[in-house]
Structure 1
Amino acid sequence: MERSLIRSAGANTMLLAGRLLLSAIFLHEGATLALDFSATVETFARLGLDLPVAIGVILLQLAAGLSVAAGLATRLGATALGIFCLLTAVLFHTDFASRNELLHFEKDFAIAGGMFVLAISGAGSLSIDAWLKRSGPTPIAAFL
């Protein structure tokens, strides 16, 4: 019994560490895009993407990144970021003659895989999701 509790605490600590590591790239990138908004809009325009897409990407990265980091609606945030990574890879990193582009493609697929695993496993006990479930039935807890 004691051994399973230790293993469970260790697993939940690893889930927390994984959530924080996976979310860090999105929180950093979302903040960077937001803080230099004019450069972001110019970059998106060069890629043929309009202002609403730039705003949507910033909001997605920040909101879903915070969701995963805090463990609040983790499954939803992780699924959204996993799909975002797959789309980014197949739409923008397909020049496999460039080692850098291939690396970005592979990185995006790897992050998507991590996000999908997290979407299935959930946030673990060290999360707001778990706290909401323990605190009793709420409209939010029904979706966790």
Structure 2
Amino acid sequence: MIKRKIKYDDYVLLLSRIFISGIFLMAGINKIMNPSLIKDYMASAGMVGVELFYYSAVIFLMAGGLFILTGYKLEVGALMLAMFLIPATLIFHLDFTSGAQIISLQKNIAILGGLFALYTVGPGKIKLGK
């Protein structure tokens, strides 16, 4: 088997992974730094089991973001982040009377598209692990 050299596409995939993972890693860090604020916001949306969902969100955001960033287990990371993003979008961003919430809904749909694309094409040659 001939090893493929790193090509332009691999740099584009790396850049894509950095951009997509960044938003999730920053969201995870924000949740870690502001637990009371985040839990209160979750409760105000009518969520039950706030503690469980708070810690689950932190784990999914941080682990999924790191998997995407490093390219290691990228498919697992993309699925984790999609599993986080879909319910979060449905719970927090369906207020069609709020322009900000409509924009957040549209952004999340676009990010889901990026996650699905990365899941499909993989991390490229620039990654940690095999």
- Using the size of structure 1 for normalisation, the TM-score is 0.80
C-alpha displacement at 1:92, in angstroms?
1.8
Alpha-carbon separation, structure 1, partners of 2:34 and 2:59: 14
- Give, in angstroms, the shift of residue 22 of structure 1: 0.1
| Count of matched residue pairs | 125
User: Is 1:10 aligned with 2:8?
Assistant: yes
Q: How does 1:1-144 map to 2 (within 5 A)?
A: 9-49=7-47, 50-128=50-128, 131-132=129-130
Letter in 1 for 2:7: A
Gaps in structure 2 of 5+ consecutive residues: none
CA contact (8 A) 1:83 1:112 kept: no
User: CA deviation digits over 1:65-106, x for unaligned, max 9?
Assistant: 011001110011012212322222222211122211110000
Shift >3 Å, 4+ stretches: none
Aligned partner letter, 1:124: G
Q: Give the counterpart letter for 1:104 in structure 2.
A: S
Deviation at 1:57, TM superposition (A): 0.4
Instruction: Check whether the contact 2:67–2:77 (CA below 8 A) recurs between aligned residues.
Output: yes
1:10, distance to aligned residue in structure 2 (A): 0.6
Moved more, 20-29 or 40-49: 40-49
Contact 1:93 1:102 in 2 (8 A): yes
**Bigger Rg, which one:** 1
Tell me by how many angstroms 1:39 deviates.
1.8
Contact 1:88–1:108, Cα closer than 8 Å, also in 2: no
In percent, how many aligned pairs have the same letter? 26
Q: TM-score, normalised by structure 2?
A: 0.88
Give the Å deviation of 1:38.
2.0
Deviation of 1:61 after TM superposition, in Å, equals 0.4
1:82 touches 1:113 (CA, 8 Å); kept in 2?
Answer: no
Distance between the aligned counterparts of 1:29 and 1:97, measured in 2?
Answer: 24
Segments of structure 1 that go 5 or more residues without pairing to the other structure are 133-144
Could you say which structure has the greater relative contact order, defined with CA pairs below 8 angstroms and 6 or more residues apart? 2
